[in-house]
Structure 1
């Protein structure tokens, strides 16, 4: 016969708990006091099920019951678990199922706003653009929260999503598209965390697309940034060079580098290597999230030499400083410059299309070289995975040809690489 274990007494538990000598002390029936240090101990139930030994924690031990379970309380907890054993149920599995059910019940009470705030707290730090993070939350606060913010996330269906979108779907199609996408992301996040079940009611394809909301293509035509025809670049550049302002030099540099407006106004001298004729744009300022090396033509370098006196002592100052100490040029200044030049028919961003059209129609430069000069992401994931270089030498040739073309008096002729 197995040796009988003498039950513990409350006095023994207190002495063992206080002394703190690490050991397991049996109380009988599979209940143990597990001491790990002075005033650090917990209760454990050992049992066998289907020929396998298992151990189950029953909570912290405390002789006074203030921060854990007394001996009497632990025996009651052990007795409850033995009932499950007699019914043929594994106590550990029963507890896990009960905890999962409680979590689902709590999740069902989570509101859309709570889920959105949890999503932003978890995913927001991954976004490199602080303005984007702020706009993400502001968009939901303006358009979604008044309608569904206080609703349990489990109860949100197609009707609730449409109540948010319908008032702005045709009046503000771009905003409505962002709101829909952000609601979809929050509801997916809630589903992953077990706070809701079922298909995502904010999904467009096969869902909202069949609900009576017209597609964006039917609501508003796709508008491209107005661009200058490439044969007119030379004449325009001659007019631009006659403009004596920081915004004019910024626009000239933008055209010569085929860069985006944000990349230009955020550019700092620490990114420039004049000796190597190189501008390295850090990944956190690139749309694709990758560092971008820009070969600088001689005309582009001339622009930089002209604006260098604007901040001669500041090695990390902006290339094109704006008003106020340490501020960059405003993103609207180049657009206003075009207005003063009588060219409200074009935009700064449109010069990237001008560059692309010139390269495709007037040169023999390969398309992948041109796309890389524009810092476009590679759409094909397989190709992107195998692409290691950035075709820098070929892009330098391309940008030199572009600068030469921009310098022609009337933008005449073509530059086919030899």
Structure 2
């Protein structure tokens, strides 16, 4: 006796309210959920494996539509084809077809949009946009993202790899990230042609071999005392700010962004917040007596929350103030940032402090990741003594 099919009627489907499965025959069921919503399910067994395949919600999918879908599934099953796997394959092919119209430019813009909020520095998004617009988009921008191969990536990188090694390396990494994102979104398949290790490393020289390391011009430490004597003859916040840069061995940007709320003068402590640090980690700076004297003088000129206030009543000073000061002093041969190198050379040549103490004073990472994991402290007390000795040397009272 043939198995009965088409058991349900449109009225019965409409009026079904009790939770459960209602058989239409041939593996087609109407499913009623506890909430009363309805959907169609095709149940089948293939290779002794029972499976349920959703066919869509009712009434969006009518009884007639569900029966047509169920019939197609029964035909596939008869041919030994899993209807669910067949549908998944069709979806995959559809995504690949869609990817032919998804460009690299679209993926790059989406990647930046979705990651913008998570980037610590707001300038990062602008740097991404600028570098990709300048170097990648002219070659890759309007191409389907699934068509980008190593040859196209090399067309972007080779013209700048020898002359702009640092920029080229960043562009490569950004292209790699965009293509990884595109693969995760099923817009492309296969290996990432912008990957360095075992890929581009085989056809391009390493960045270290082509990049020229440019160091910030630094004052020899033997001249720092005379320089500060000259600096103290000058009026203005920029001179006080530069002296603070020298005495703390901090980056100029950390001084420019510094606010009075970061300082505890009684405890001789400056706590730089993580979002002001290049490392992204909070950094405690011990303050020597000469540094405290500079801060107290700056406090007398305070107009707002910034240690180095700008011309207005709200903002801070410009990043150019130290460069302009050095030019007025006739010292275009050095930079404010270079005083970190001056401090590091002095610590290595004139003191017996451990290398790790000096590196931590500069907020550099010390050791490998394993060592860092076990090193819980920041050597603050040792750094306090180091910075006191450095300050004495700077004002001419230290050991020669």
Is 1:290 the counterpart of 2:281 in the alignment? yes
Q: Note the 1:12-411 alignment, pairs <5 A.
A: 12-16=12-16, 20-36=17-33, 40-62=37-59, 68-169=60-161, 172-204=164-196, 207-208=199-200, 211=203, 221-311=212-302, 314=304, 317-378=305-366, 380-408=368-396
Q: 2:287, 2:112 → 1: CA distance? A: 39
Query: How far off is 1:154 after superposition?
Result: 1.9
Q: 1:100, 1:251 → 2: CA distance? A: 61
Instruction: Give the match's secondary structure for 2:32.
Output: strand
* C-alpha RMSD of the superposition: 2.6
Q: 2:399 — aligned with what? A: 413
Instruction: Give the match's secondary structure for 2:33.
Output: strand
CA shift digits 1:111-162 (9 cap, x unpaired): 1111212221333322110012211112211222122200112222333233
Q: 2:96, 2:2 → 1: CA distance? A: 44
Give the direction of change, closer, same or farther, for the CA distance of 1:34–1:311 in structure 2 (3 Å limit): farther
CA shift digits 1:344-390 (9 cap, x unpaired): 11111111111111111110111111111111124512112222111
Query: How far off is 1:177 after superposition?
Result: 3.5
Give the direction of change, closer, same or farther, for the CA distance of 1:3–1:75 in structure 2 (3 Å limit): closer
TM-score (norm 1): 0.87
Q: Which moved more, 1:3-12 or 1:247-256?
A: 3-12
Q: 1:206, 1:48 → 2: CA distance? A: 45
Q: 2:2, 2:239 → 1: CA distance? A: 95
Instruction: Give the match's secondary structure for 1:144.
Output: helix
> Does the 8 Å contact 1:108/1:196 carry over to 2?
no
Query: How far off is 1:209 after superposition?
Result: 5.4
> Does the 8 Å contact 1:46/1:56 carry over to 2?
yes
Query: How far off is 1:338 after superposition?
Result: 0.8
Q: 1:381, 1:164 → 2: CA distance? A: 34
Q: 2:179, 2:87 → 1: CA distance? A: 28
Q: 2:301, 2:96 → 1: CA distance? A: 61
The size of the alignment, in residue pairs, is: 400
Query: How far off is 1:2 after superposition?
Result: 12
Give the direction of change, closer, same or farther, for the CA distance of 1:385–1:194 in structure 2 (3 Å limit): farther
Query: How far off is 1:248 after superposition?
Result: 1.2
Q: 1:41, 1:311 → 2: CA distance? A: 70
